[in-house]
Amino acid sequence: MEQDRNKIEAILFTTGQFLTVEEISKMCGIGSIGYIKGILGELKDEYNKKESALEIVNEKDKWRLNIKKDYMYLTEKLLTDAELDMPTQETLAVVAYKQPAVQSVVIKTRGNKAYDHIKLLKDEGFITSEKFGRTKILKLTQKFYDYFDVMEDQLKEKLVEKMQDNAETKPL
């Protein structure tokens, strides 16, 4: 049992994203869904009891090892110090919001510097581009979803939340 708990915990830690019980089952080679659900429940309780910066989150039958909200400010600081500067992150946000985005529209929205941002984002593997008449179509890659830990169907909702949070914290 302890080895199975460790396998499940390792999978949640390594993927860093929400997983269904079926996905966890395949990854760790345990066939019993009920057994896995039991272990996930125990892990969730265990993390809730100990004074840790981590927690097991369960949303809509998907599970994830997450950083508690009290410690998110630390990771947000790390992300803002990451390899993508703020203007490039903002260009990426426009691409993500419009997904798939027409490059000429992104350039109109973000300005000519966005050409440099798009090149960097392609080089880093966050987006791809395909010819589309005289412009290009920009699409997010799996690396984007993994890096920012968001699922495609939740993307716009999370972007809108983030924009609202930023609007509330910016001084007038």
The CATH number for 97's domain is: 1.10.10.10
Range of the domain at 12: 2-68
**pLDDT at residue 147, rounded to an integer:** 76
Q: What is the pLDDT of residue 78?
A: 54
The pLDDT tens digits for 76-110 are 655 555 567 778 888 888 888 788 889 999 998 88
Bridging pattern class, strands 54-59 and 135-140: unpaired
Q: Indicate the residue among 25, 40, 68 that finishes a domain.
A: 68
73 found inside a domain: no
Residue environment code for 119-158, b if the CB has 16+ CB neighbours within 10 A, otherwise e? ebbeebebbebeeeeeebebebeeebbebbebeeeebeee
Q: What is the mean pLDDT of residues 1-28?
A: 88
The answer, as to whether pTM is greater than 0.85, is no
pLDDT of res. 172: 44
| Residue 77 maps to a domain | no
Whether 12 shows a pLDDT value over 70: the answer reads yes
State the total domains in the chain. 2
87 and 64, same domain (yes or no): no
Instruction: Decide which of 18, 45, 68 is a domain's last residue.
Output: 68
> Does residue 132 form part of some domain?
yes
Report d(CA 38, CA 5) in Å as an integer.
10
